[in-house]
Amino acid sequence: PGIYEELLLDLQGNILKGHGRDHTVHLFLQFKPGQVEPLKDWIREFAKNITSAHQQAAEAELYRTEKIAGKPFINFFLSHAGYEYLQFRPFQIPGNQPFRFGMKNDTIRNLLGDPVIEEWEPGLQEEIHALLLIADDNLVSLLQTVNQITRTLYLMAQVVHREDGFILKNERGDHIEHFGFIDGISQPLFTKSDIQKAKTSGDFSKWDPRAPLSLVLAKDPNGKSEDSYGSYLVYRKLEQDVIALLDAEKDLAEKLGIDKELAGALMMGRFRDGTPLTLADKPGGDYGNDFDYSEDEKAYKCPFHAHVRKTNPRGDTGRVISSGESFEDALKTERNHRIARRAVSYGETDYTNSTSTGSGLLFLCFQADLENQFNFMQAAWANASNFVEWNVGVDPIIGQTGPGADRNQKWPVAWGKPEKSDQSNTFNFGLWVHMKGGEYFFAPSISSLTSI
Ligand code: HEM
């Protein structure tokens, strides 16, 4: 317990568990020239305010269960350019390959199918050195905290971009995203209390959500000890075209002679209320997260392209792809690609195309290895029309086809239920999620910042 306590006191608080606050502000900082020493002084002082994993666990218990307004939640992340600006030597900078070169480099190399950088939000096209995440249940005190912090930074850093996010909820209070689907149900779980909660809400017979700390923790070369850890963070602004998705849902429903909710589930892999499509053909099933696709090997129930099946195939890679590996080994490899998602929504759900700011998801995820986790999931699973079998199409929610793709671009994606059609039947899914920019960051250990 001593070792874990040390680890949790030194680890930032959003990694093992989401901060859970209703409102969030993300400030993207570009350090001003010639401010290395003042910035180091600022970081040393500021780091005392960072919410540790230890504090976050205690606060989750205290504030969220007792419904008392909590303290602001604060985390601080550095990009590779930020480490370089602060004059860290190469061996002192976390060395994961995609982090070293930055997200813009992966976009230029067309690794992730992203739109060209010139189409990103102008602020995200800038060189970004750091990201500040500030969250609070109380919006007024959140904005006060943000103002206080930006005032102290004024001479040393410019806020080149800002995002204001929040937890979107349906009428029942469930956490959803702008397309209306419940989100955040399936996550790798790290903490004892989260695992216990999952155990009591269903059994683990089909899907074990537990994950080792090695899934998200990466050594921090600058911490106070050999056992100092941080984590790599992927940040992507993903705009959602809600009207286009609803239109496509209607078209697909007409084509198949099914209702719209089922058509939507054929894209997501779950109904809007979270019911997994592989277990039920209508919403209302209280199945939680205890399922895999072992009884749906031919994807007659849940298409292979469905978003949740693409991003967590739950054993498909071992069953379908004959790589010579044993099923258990394949499952282990597959589970190593998981990510800890920490997204929040932005903007008002746009049902009319009338808001100019748009709406979407501020996608954040933590991992130990960018290449093997987020990048692999996006490029080798979601974007690949031949995963998990040949010609199943890209992920209709997040699949990306590369630069030049626009709102009118469509590509065929197979769907099929044996009683209605066969797998060769296709439907033109469009692009409803538009990547508007992002960056890779590292969440340094708190001790590396207080002693910078
Ligand atoms: C699950 C929506 C982007 C990876 C889900 C779920 C929804 C959803 C509704 C089901 C709830 C749950 O299982 O927790 C969206 C939307 C996105 C988006 C609307 C974009 C606007 C992404 C991206 C990735 C991703 C960019 C990674 C490349 C996952 C994973 C799961 C998931 C790993 C869990 C699947 C499982 O374990 O069964 N998403 N998502 N999502 N999503 Fe996304």
Does the Cβ of 308 fall within 6 Å of ligand 1?
yes
377 lines ligand 1 (CB under 6 A): yes
CB contact at 8 A, 243 and 42:
no
Low-confidence ranges of the chain (pLDDT < 50): 421
Residue 328 CB: number of other CB atoms within 10 A? 10
Burial status of residue 288 (CB atoms within 10 A of its CB: 0-12, 13-18, 19 or more): middle
Q: Is the CB of 184 under 6 A from ligand 1?
A: yes
> How would you class 125 by CB atoms within 10 Å of its CB: exposed for 0-12, middle for 13-18, buried for 19 or more?
middle
How far from 353 is each of 348, 350, 356, 403, CA to CA, in Å?
11, 6, 8, 23
CB distance 276 to 287 below 8 Å: yes
Residue 255, Cα to own-chain centre: how many angstroms?
Answer: 32
Distance 121 CA to ligand 1 centre (A): 22
Q: Which atom of ligand 1 is nearest to the CA of 187?
A: 37
CB 19 within 8 A of CB 13: yes
Task: Give the Å distance between the CA of 308 and the centre of ligand 1.
Answer: 6
Question: Which residue, by CA, sits nearest to atom 19 of ligand 1?
Answer: 177
According to the model, what pLDDT value does residue 314 have? Answer: 96
Q: How far is the CA of 220 from the centre of ligand 1 (A)?
A: 28
Mutate to test the pocket of ligand 1, among 215, 234, 271, 341 (most ligand atoms within 8 A of CB): 341
Kindly state the tokens that stand for 100.
Answer: 């070293």
* Residue 287: partners with Cβ closer than 8 Å, 6 or more residues away: 202, 274, 275, 276, 279, 280
Distances (CA, A) of 255 to 65, 152, 394: 46, 58, 20
CA-nearest residue for atom 13, ligand 1, is 186
Measured in Å, residue 397 CA sits from the centre of ligand 1 at: 9
Residue in 377, 199, 213, 211 with CA at minimum distance from that of residue 290: 199
ipTM greater than 0.85, yes or no?
yes
Locus of tokens 């069953």: 319
pTM of the model: 0.96
Helix (H) or strand (E) holding 58: helix 53-59
- Residue 140 Cα, ligand 1 centroid: separation in angstroms? 30
In the prediction, which pLDDT does 1 show?
Answer: 53
Please check whether residue 297 is in contact with residue 319, taking contact to mean a CB–CB distance below 8 angstroms: yes
Q: Which residue's structure tokens are 């080149």?
A: 160
Omega before 388 within 30 of 0, i.e. cis: yes
With the most atoms of ligand 1 within 8 angstroms of its CB, the residue from 194, 317, 370, 397 to mutate is: 397
Ligand 1 atom having least distance to the Cα of 183: 11
Q: Which residues contact 443 (CB under 8 A, 6 or more apart)?
A: 12, 14, 15, 75, 76, 77, 230, 231, 232, 233, 366
Please tell me if the CB atom of residue 378 comes closer than 6 angstroms to any atom of ligand 1.
Answer: yes
Residue closest by Cα to atom 22 of ligand 1: 398
> Which pLDDT score is estimated for 347?
95
- Which of 197, 245, 179 minimizes the C-alpha distance to 65? 197
DSSP string, 253-274: HHHHT--HHHHHHHHHSB-TT-
